[in-house]
Structure 1
Amino acid sequence: MAKSLDALFAPRSIAFIGASNDPTRIGGRPLHYCLRDGFEGEIYPVNPSRDKVQGLKAFPSIGAIPADEVDLLVIAVPPKAIPMVLAEAGAKNVRAAVVLTSGFSETGEKGAALEAEMLATARKLGIRLLGPNCLGFYKAGDGIAATFSSLLEDGPPPQGELAIVSQSGAYGAHIAMLARRRGIGLASFAATGNECDIGVADLIEAAAADINVKVIGCYVEGIRHGRAFLRAVEVARLAGKPVILLKVGTSSSGQKAAQSHTASLAGDDRTLDQIIGRSGAIRVETTQELVDTLYVLTRRGLLASNRLGILTVSGGAGILMADAAEAAGFDIASMPEPARADLDARIPLGSSANPVDTTAQAMSDASIVRDAVSIVTRQGNYDAVVAFFMNWPESPVLGPPLREAIQQGLESGSEVPFAICMNAGPRTVSEYEETGLLVFEDPSFAVTALAHAATAGRAISGAPACVPTLPDTSTKCFVRLDEAEALAALADAGIPTMPFATARNSAEAGRISRQFDGPLAIKVISPDVQHKSDAGGVRLAVDPGNQAADAASKILADVGRAHPAAEIRGVLIAPMIRGVAELILGARIDPVFGPVVSVGMGGIFTELLDDVAIGLAPLDANEALELIRSLCGFPLLDGMRGKPRVDIRAAAETMAAMSRFIARHRGTILEVEINPLLLLEEHKGAVALDALIIPETAENPVIQNGQAAA
């Protein structure tokens, strides 16, 4: 268990601040649960208005508690009283506190100021805080219930191996209740609320260290400290414990709701999705998908790989499952030929490939099911099998022989996870689950959950997901950079840029242009005009000399009319360069993960394909190469249909240099873009033809959210 959270999850004593004598009230429920469930440590109700609370001696203040140390406070008093409560707690060497009270940063500036005061007091005294505005936590088996959740009203949930970590207390409890209904036992439940101190990442690490936890389910509205979250996922991966993540707040409306709920910062969902996807965490889209995946993982664990066998009594259901399996990334490999021969001999009217279809003839002869199950599970070399039997298991006629046939088929020695899809009541479902089978109603849900178990298996056994170390920040400031200055800054950072010259007016342009041979590109130089072509600020294929002077004159006049308030510094003159393909490189400060870098197909493919790969900065050339290769349009760079291969290594090295640049200047730069990065033939390099650097300003500051910009 994370050492700094020992007092939270393994307290020897708990003081309940604002303890109520009424076990149904927020201030009374945590105390009631701890008493009911047999917490063995010392319990101190604090209530200045009562001598006794729920049968125990009550104390008027923390200072009145007759003990030198109190490990944990559970606080349910008005917000303004809490900084004083914490200040008093210092004398009792309190090490952790759960703040159930709301009315802090989720309410606005005044609440945020109060939260900051509370946190400053806690940090000064060495007290870790869970909350505020949270539902608290519950730990199975120890009687520790620092929560007012209705989840515990009927008694402690069945104990199991699932840890639930949630920002939303109510929805986290809802997930726990659904898991309970699905027969999933609970090891712990924790809700973080506003996360002024302890956050989701801390709780994932604590769950990873808990020997009673096998799987971690996580509900998140906004990840505050992205890199800390990734490190926590890696800790869990190394412990062999998959993290299944339901991340909401992907729409603009959802992001606004998340901000008002727990002051969560959503960030860009595409960035989050790609970075989380490479971290080893398994992201799901719905509550159903989350619970289904937790069900598979807690009952049958990880899948070794992604080969799926499909057994059905309906050709239509087999097609549906095959479609779902392929979409989920499963390998729907056909049965081996010897196994197919055995199946063909046993089911001459069915299908022996994959899906294996027994057809309705199995209604008359359950031994067909027995043999099909045995052959598919023993000879198919599958990592899991999913079967469809509609309502047969519930049938008083078909059900008993079917269940016996399935069990006989599985008793042949195979340990492969076996999911059965059927329409049946709770009793029948329970009977099948007791034999070790996974039971689903919807075949597509079964396939999706098994696919996540396969992805989790690959993640757990895969290579470490390294979170790059951020370098020291540069003290260099950038102010209102134009394109020429941006190109120069990137060139200094090791990025190959085109040769260019600048001219303040048309006469200079004519004279300076003569240093170049061949056609030229001439562009306006202005920090205020980003879309130069739209403003008439670009001329291509211009000859040096008089034609260049004339082009510069027209550019300056056209842009002046289009943007009369813009600062126009002259024109940029560069030779026209031909290449094979183009990429667009971007780098920015993400509010969740800090500096990130992106790559996409350039030119006409930028908007057509919407094909972008995103990674943490800084990265090295090999990591950049992996991102480039992940693009759907990568074949266009790799010699597709006889076209020359481009210099991918040069592109990757440029991307790596750009990632180092944004990481080094993360305190002063918001965004960098190279559009396009022209790719030459293999071994001939890459060249940045246009560059944009957007520095921080007072009106548009770099958002620094804890670890994100550290």
Structure 2
Amino acid sequence: MKVADVSLTSFFAPRSIAFIGASDDARRIGGRPLAYCIRDGFAGPLYPINPSRDRVQGLTAYPSLDALPGPADLAVIAIGAAGVPDAVAAAARQGVRAAVVLSSGFAEVGEDALQAEMIAAARDGGIRVLGPNSLGVFSNEGGVCATFSSLLENGPVAAGKLAIVSQSGAYGAHLAMLMQRRGVGIARFVTTGNEADVTVADCILHMAGDPAVSVIGCYSEGIADGRAFLRAVEAARAAGKPVVMLKVGRSDTGRQAAASHTASLAGDDAVFDAVVRAAGVERVETTQQFVDLLYTLCRRPPVSGNRLGILTVSGGAGVLMADAASAAGFELPFMPQAAQAALKRRIPFGSAVNPVDTTAQAMNDPTLMRDAAAAMLNHGGYDAVVCFFMNWPDSPIIGPGLREALEAALVDHTDRTVAIAMNATEETRRSFDAAGLLVFEDPSHAVAALGASRRLGEALARDAVTQPDLPRPDPLPSGPFDEFEAATLLAEGGVTMAPIVEGETPEAIAAAAQTLSGPIALKIRSRDLPHKSDVGGVRLGLLGEEAIRSEAQRMHQVVSGAAPDATLRGFVASPMAAPGVELLIGGRVDPSFGPIVTVGLGGVFTEIFRDVAIGLAPLTSTEAEALLRSLRGWPLLAGARGRAVADVDAAADAIESLSRFVARHREVIEAVEINPLVVHPKGQGAAGLDAVIMVRTDVPSGN
């Protein structure tokens, strides 16, 4: 249930704030937001609402919103859950445009009806609600502190250009505290709680247009409306604002995995990961990666290319960083020969290639580090340089000269990013940070952060990503469907399928198969056996009517013994396909992003190699080809090792048609799969040999 889509400005820049449930005790949840606003100098009126007190924290208190002397843009609600719906309704009557509900006791504990009542009151009054069960919102401009978080407990938060958007209040505050400890200022902090109204997507969309924000960090446990989220991150990308996301809940919850490769290979998290990365979001796996990358982005623009230089005082550390660079997608070009020769004269026992290793000789001559860094920046053509200095920066003898040498090297290269890994005190770390250097403890973490920065730079530089329009939903005939029915429906939907005939008895299928040419593939027909070969329900290369009839009789006996509970409906037969590359193409309806398509290597190796690409349906043929090119198995289609180049155009057309089938029938489909789709040499087409359509059991199908 959603209220009117009005601006979120009243959350971040209200002119006046009312505190419903305001406490005179600044340590309590109801007292902290007011105390923070007073301390941080909120310029507008602050209205404590407390019917039991005349004054709260030195301010005039009011018994209700109706008694206020003027309007309030924002209401902060910290009362028992049962009273919240009436409070929201009262706020709406008084023209309040936004409400932060700090109260808990709603859907998170099973009180869905109470939450729905609150949102109904908000909808009727045209008021936006953050929460309930939210830690609130903080805006560094104007002292807006509509939160009880201990993030603000020790004084005003340093200003910066980072926005943190989090579904979790406590962990969002933890992340914000870690960013502060790293020396990164915060412009906006918001936690969405139960997301009864305002969502993470809404907040990211707001930050995309907020001039105080340049970088967005997001913590999420689940996205309800995936396509709204994608619209928000595209708005941020178009505004030049990178989005870094820590999304938890990676376990594969793909439904009916045993019955469908598509479900098992494209579980909810796999879909989320593929789709948001394609949209330009950098998803990180750990808190350390989250902090490292946001620190990097807040200090320096995204790295502009993939040429990395490594400068070290340790050969071992240089190898470690080179490995990390390879994993991060960086190239490590050698220094030019002339530059190598000049450096080698200075460091005869080191390396001047890349990594450049000055050895301990730089302890005696800090200018050596200056000249090595300058040579890499002047002549190496590197987009970024990562340095390893052990504990040298902390040395009162070596440290100051080292910092000055690096500052001197950077004077003419302010467009380059230089990161250093070192063991040092906080004071030393901040001094190097203030000199324009990115500071890390772990050199691998430094390289990984620069790699992620580069990927985000590439995402920000590309053309807009547009979401496909969903077609009008269409019904399907009543299911479930066996292979013959599925193949027929897909062929009617535009997917090229191999010819297929059916027969209820061995005699009938043997006769029907005579209309097909060449050797025959015979399969049992059943709605209960999606993997027929596992129970002896597939026989290949049959020739002649008698051979087909005899094999059909034997097959029926074998399958009846192996799967006694399956209902057998006869047999299907198709001509044996000519050799080609076998693909799996499938689709399902993701609970967050709606219809999606999966493409990967097919046949019996699907689960072994798990080489799968995922996209939103419907796809164009161009987008379908891009999915094929993203596969590790792409060389099989491109003609590797003397193989014939496959008919990629035909494969892309089949994927496009299947994607439109899934999108049209998204309201009734659970999963669709063609395995294999055999792609023949270029110009000879592609055809599906086996098909599965699974329908939802909670939605009736039928025309």
How many angstroms does 1:701 deviate by?
9.2
CA shift in 2, pair 1:564/1:15, >3 Å: same
In structure 1, the residue matched to 2:305 is 305
Q: TM-score scaled to structure 1, two decimals?
A: 0.93
Return the alpha-carbon distance in structure 2 between the equivalents of residues 284 and 88 of structure 1. 42
Cα deviation 1:271-313 (Å, max 9, x = unaligned): 2111111111111111111111111111112111121111111
Instruction: Decide which moves more: 418-427 or 140-149.
Output: 418-427
CA shift in 2, pair 1:303/1:701, >3 Å: farther
8 A Cα contact 1:478 1:668, kept in partner? no
Cα deviation 1:82-108 (Å, max 9, x = unaligned): 122222223112221111111222223
Q: Where do residues 149-168 of structure 1 align in structure 2 (5 Å cutoff)?
A: 149-168=149-168
Return the alpha-carbon distance in structure 2 between the equivalents of residues 518 and 395 of structure 1. 81
CA shift in 2, pair 1:85/1:598, >3 Å: same
Cα deviation 1:224-270 (Å, max 9, x = unaligned): 211111111111111111001111111379x9xxxxxxxxxx96222
In structure 2, the residue matched to 1:508 is 508
2:408 paired with 1:405: no
How many angstroms does 1:211 deviate by?
0.8
8 A Cα contact 2:6 2:128, kept in partner? no
Q: TM-score scaled to structure 2, two decimals?
A: 0.94
In structure 1, the residue matched to 2:131 is 131
Return the alpha-carbon distance in structure 2 between the equivalents of residues 591 and 387 of structure 1. 45
2:14 paired with 1:11: yes
In structure 2, the residue matched to 1:86 is 88
Return the alpha-carbon distance in structure 1 between the equivalents of residues 247 and 456 of structure 2. 17
In structure 1, the residue matched to 2:41 is 38
In structure 2, the residue matched to 1:537 is 537
8 A Cα contact 2:252 2:269, kept in partner? no
Return the alpha-carbon distance in structure 2 between the equivalents of residues 91 and 568 of structure 1. 65
Q: Which AA in structure 2 matches 1:503?
A: G
In structure 1, the residue matched to 2:259 is none
8 A Cα contact 1:477 1:668, kept in partner? no
8 A Cα contact 2:507 2:549, kept in partner? yes
Return the alpha-carbon distance in structure 2 between the equivalents of residues 661 and 116 of structure 1. 35
How many angstroms does 1:648 deviate by?
1.2
What secondary structure sits across from 1:614 in the alignment? strand
Q: Where do residues 207-356 of structure 1 align in structure 2 (5 Å cutoff)?
A: 207-251=207-251, 268-356=268-356
In structure 2, the residue matched to 1:474 is 474
CA shift in 2, pair 1:570/1:20, >3 Å: same
How many angstroms does 1:413 deviate by?
4.9
Q: Where do residues 410-449 of structure 1 align in structure 2 (5 Å cutoff)?
A: 410-413=410-413, 415-449=415-449
How many angstroms does 1:510 deviate by?
2.8
Return the alpha-carbon distance in structure 1 between the equivalents of residues 132 and 307 of structure 2. 46
Cα deviation 1:588-632 (Å, max 9, x = unaligned): 011121111001111243133111111111111111111111111
What secondary structure sits across from 1:160 in the alignment? coil
8 A Cα contact 1:516 1:544, kept in partner? no
8 A Cα contact 1:184 1:295, kept in partner? yes
Return the alpha-carbon distance in structure 1 between the equivalents of residues 564 and 427 of structure 2. 77
Cα deviation 1:475-499 (Å, max 9, x = unaligned): 3354111111111110011000111
Q: Which AA in structure 1 matches 2:68?
A: I
What secondary structure sits across from 2:528 in the alignment? coil
Instruction: Decide which moves more: 119-128 or 531-540.
Output: 531-540
How many angstroms does 1:521 deviate by?
1.6
Return the alpha-carbon distance in structure 1 between the equivalents of residues 643 and 446 of structure 2. 44
2:52 paired with 1:49: yes
How many angstroms does 1:365 deviate by?
1.5
How many angstroms does 1:373 deviate by?
1.5
Return the alpha-carbon distance in structure 2 between the equivalents of residues 205 and 234 of structure 1. 9
Cα deviation 1:552-598 (Å, max 9, x = unaligned): 33333433344444333221121112221200111001112111100
Return the alpha-carbon distance in structure 2 between the equivalents of residues 496 and 177 of structure 1. 56
How many angstroms does 1:537 deviate by?
2.2
Return the alpha-carbon distance in structure 1 between the equivalents of residues 156 and 345 of structure 2. 53
- Sequence identity (%): 53
In structure 2, the residue matched to 1:102 is 104
Q: Where do residues 684-699 of structure 1 align in structure 2 (5 Å cutoff)?
A: 684-698=684-698
How many angstroms does 1:70 deviate by?
2.8
What secondary structure sits across from 1:637 in the alignment? helix
User: What runs of 5+ residues in structure 1 fail to find an aligned partner?
Assistant: 256-265, 703-710
What secondary structure sits across from 2:480 in the alignment? coil
Return the alpha-carbon distance in structure 2 between the equivalents of residues 191 and 37 of structure 1. 20
Return the alpha-carbon distance in structure 1 between the equivalents of residues 192 and 35 of structure 2. 21
What secondary structure sits across from 2:351 in the alignment? coil
In structure 2, the residue matched to 1:194 is 194
Q: Which AA in structure 1 matches 2:95?
A: N
Q: Which AA in structure 2 matches 1:99?
A: V
Cα deviation 1:36-80 (Å, max 9, x = unaligned): 11112222222222222222222222223233x432111111222
How many angstroms does 1:145 deviate by?
0.9
In structure 1, the residue matched to 2:67 is 64
What secondary structure sits across from 1:288 in the alignment? helix
8 A Cα contact 2:81 2:105, kept in partner? yes
CA shift in 2, pair 1:201/1:601, >3 Å: same
Instruction: Decide which moves more: 142-151 or 629-638.
Output: 629-638
Q: Where do residues 603-614 of structure 1 align in structure 2 (5 Å cutoff)?
A: 603-614=603-614
Q: Where do residues 453-472 of structure 1 align in structure 2 (5 Å cutoff)?
A: 453-472=453-472
In structure 2, the residue matched to 1:632 is 632
* Matched length: 686
CA shift in 2, pair 1:372/1:549, >3 Å: same
8 A Cα contact 1:137 1:145, kept in partner? yes
Return the alpha-carbon distance in structure 2 between the equivalents of residues 224 and 251 of structure 1. 17
Cα deviation 1:184-243 (Å, max 9, x = unaligned): 011010011111111111111111111111111111111221111111111111111100
What secondary structure sits across from 1:70 in the alignment? coil
8 A Cα contact 2:582 2:601, kept in partner? yes
In structure 1, the residue matched to 2:121 is 121
Return the alpha-carbon distance in structure 1 between the equivalents of residues 55 and 205 of structure 2. 38
In structure 2, the residue matched to 1:706 is none
Return the alpha-carbon distance in structure 1 between the equivalents of residues 510 and 296 of structure 2. 72
8 A Cα contact 1:208 1:236, kept in partner? yes
Cα deviation 1:536-558 (Å, max 9, x = unaligned): 32222223423222233333343
Root mean square deviation of aligned Cα = 2.0
